[in-house]
Amino acid sequence: MGFPLKKLLVPIDGSEGAERAAAHAGELARLSGAAVVLLRVHSPDLYQLSVLSEIPPLTDYEYLSAIEKQMNDPAKDPAFEKARTALGTVSGVENEIAWGQAAAMICDYAKEHAIDQIVIGARGRSAFNALLVGSVCSQVLHHAPCPVTVVH
């Protein structure tokens, strides 16, 4: 005996783990008829550190404007394209972007949007961050307001 899945949340970061999670969520969605939300969470601090050497010198306003345009458009983020390809044919797919601490944003989104299940990859891109504060997957498992499936 189970409950019907209406909405699945798949956190994405462009990693192979996120692609595997999206593929698994695609199967669940096709079997249950559930909608899928792809959620990309950006950490402003980590993003700035990773791209400083790639962005030409800009004024503070120009810098923030360039980041905002690039990072707030799912069409310009290859992580969404990879996840959509892995999902396969699924109707009702939404793209969402949030800024903040990944695990907290994923759990908050799930709570605020009545998510029935989170499908997350076991490993993402940030091994350094996992060493400092624990993996996003582990934090989501401990704090999610709904069932969590971890895909290896």
Q: Which residues of the chain have pLDDT under 70?
A: 1-3, 45-70, 124-134
79-94: per-residue pLDDT in tens? 999 999 999 999 889 9
Strands ordered across the beta sheet of 7-12: 93-99, 35-42, 7-12, 117-121, 148-151
Task: Supply the pLDDT for residue 133.
Answer: 45
Question: What radius of gyration, in Å, describes the C-alpha atoms of the chain?
Answer: 16
Quick: pLDDT tens for 46-67.
Answer: 555 555 545 555 555 566 666 6
List domains and CATH numbers for the chain: 7-43+79-151 (3.40.50.620)
Cα separation values, 105 from 65, 85, 98, Å: 23, 24, 7
Q: What is the per-residue pLDDT for 91?
A: 87
pLDDT computed for residue 49 by the predictor: 52
23 vs 64: CA distance, rounded Å: 34
